[in-house]
């Protein structure tokens, strides 16, 4: 048995079917933020040729964690706001899946190039007042969910916060960070989650999310030096297309991040195409440049990528993998960039076959690990 095989053997022993804050359990999850919107536009999901409830399908296949994004006051449409998120969490919990709630602290996508302050807060100039707004909004959201029996098990304080959060839309800075301001605001979000745990008597895992493993090293070094405290998890996006880390080096990256910062680690975003063909007029984001030679853009290639990535994460001491938007199928919905889905070739449903469920659902089968 070589070293890699030994790592995988040890990892397999650690895998259990549920996902929560127990360190001996592995999270096998999916970001299902789009489903309510897709269904409102006529999208239908199928398994064995029959229409299915997608939340029920993911749960039946073994998914134990649902990630859902929250925008403050959505500017695109009514989705990803509080009521839509409440519905998503309810559907997840009805199917016995835990929830990772992702506060974007924006009215639209927050990512390594955009961290736009919500319109409701855009005229706040006093940092103390802005920090209190973050605290109160986060706390009130969590307490409202708790009142409905929908408190999430995990909370992300920000989404892909590689750059400074809560910036004015017309003066976005991506190449420098005002660290005292940035950490003050992130700590306010963390404090609110801790307060929600205290009030409800329920433990909530707190996560800070950075895109691509290579960025975690410099970002968390500077953040902790500037006073970032109180979080439990480091969440990572890993897309081979945008990362300098070779696929085979993921165990080393995860292990190093985990030990350097003494935090638990999970990949909360990844994806891989099962085809290079397009199912609708909207251009797909993941094309040939997203491929790794050992994993072709096929049904089996997509599944193999996911199962091998998960093994790599576990081998490095990581505790889970969440697939980003496996249900973003084509429909009559529109985005700011076009009509349809920009992800239809990277979902878990085949757009050329009436959105039939793909072998990628095997990712959630713990027997693979």
Active site residues: 160, 269
The DSSP-derived string for 55-93 is HHHHHHHT--EEEEEE-SS-SSSSTTSHHHHHHHHHHHH
* CA 177 to chain CA mean position, Å: 23
Report which of 313, 274, 310 is spatially closest to residue 291, judged by C-alpha positions: 274
β strands within the chain, DSSP E: 27-31, 46-47, 50-51, 65-70, 98-103, 154-157, 205-211, 233-237, 264-269, 320-324, 334-335, 338-339, 349-350, 356-357
Cα 156 to Cα 273: distance, rounded to the nearest angstrom: 26
- Give the residue ranges of DSSP H helices in 101-249: 127-147, 179-200, 213-225
Cα 37 to Cα 341: distance, rounded to the nearest angstrom: 12
Strand partners, 335: 338
Tokens of 186: 């992130």
Length of the chain: 369
Residue 225's φ and ψ, nearest 5 degrees, are -60, -30
Report which of 194, 102, 118 is spatially closest to residue 156, judged by C-alpha positions: 102
Tokens of 30: 């999916």
If one counts every other C-beta atom within 10 angstroms of the C-beta of residue 124, the result is: 16
């Amino acid at each position: 048995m070589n070293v890699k095989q030994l790592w995988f053997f040890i990892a397999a022993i650690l895998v259990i079917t549920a996902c929560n804050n127990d360190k001996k359990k592995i999270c096998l999850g999916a970001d299902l933020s789009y489903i309510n919107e897709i269904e409102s536009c006529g999208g239908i999901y199928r398994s064995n040729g029959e229409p299915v409830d997608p939340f029920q399908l993911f749960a039946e296949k073994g998914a134990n964690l649902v990630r859902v994004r929250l925008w403050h006051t959505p500017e695109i449409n009514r989705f990803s706001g509080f009521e839509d998120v409440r519905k998503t969490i309810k559907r997840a919990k009805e199917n016995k899946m835990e929830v990772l709630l992702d506060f974007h602290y924006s009215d639209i996508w927050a990512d390594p190039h955009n961290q736009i302050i919500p319109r409701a807060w855009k005229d706040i100039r006093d940092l103390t007042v802005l920090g209190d707004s973050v605290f109160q909004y986060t706390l009130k959201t969590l307490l409202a969910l708790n009142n409905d029996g929908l408190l999430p098990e995990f909370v992300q304080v920000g989404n892909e916060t590689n750059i400074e959060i809560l910036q004015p839309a017309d003066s976005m800075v991506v190449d420098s960070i005002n660290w005292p301001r940035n950490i003050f605001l992130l700590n306010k979000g963390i404090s609110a989650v801790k307060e929600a745990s205290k009030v409800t008597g329920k433990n909530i895992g707190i996560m800070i999310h950075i895109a691509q493993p290579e960025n975690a090293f410099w970002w968390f070094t500077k953040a902790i030096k500037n006073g970032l405290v109180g979080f439990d998890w480091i969440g990572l996006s890993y897309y081979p297309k945008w990362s300098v880390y070779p696929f085979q080096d993921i165990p080393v990256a995860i292990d190093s991040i985990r030990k350097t910062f003494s935090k638990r680690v999970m990949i909360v975003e990844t994806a891989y195409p099962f085809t290079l063909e397009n199912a609708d007029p909207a251009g797909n984001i993941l094309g040939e440049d997203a491929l790794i030679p050992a994993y072709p853009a096929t049904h089996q290639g997509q599944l193999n990528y996911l199962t091998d990535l998960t093994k790599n994460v576990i081998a490095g001491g990581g505790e889970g993998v969440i697939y980003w938007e496996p249900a973003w199928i084509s429909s009559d919905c529109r985005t700011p960039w076009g009509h349809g889905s920009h992800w239809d070739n990277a979902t878990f449903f085949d757009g050329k076959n009436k959105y039939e469920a793909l072998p990628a659902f095997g990712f959630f089968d713990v027997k693979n690990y």
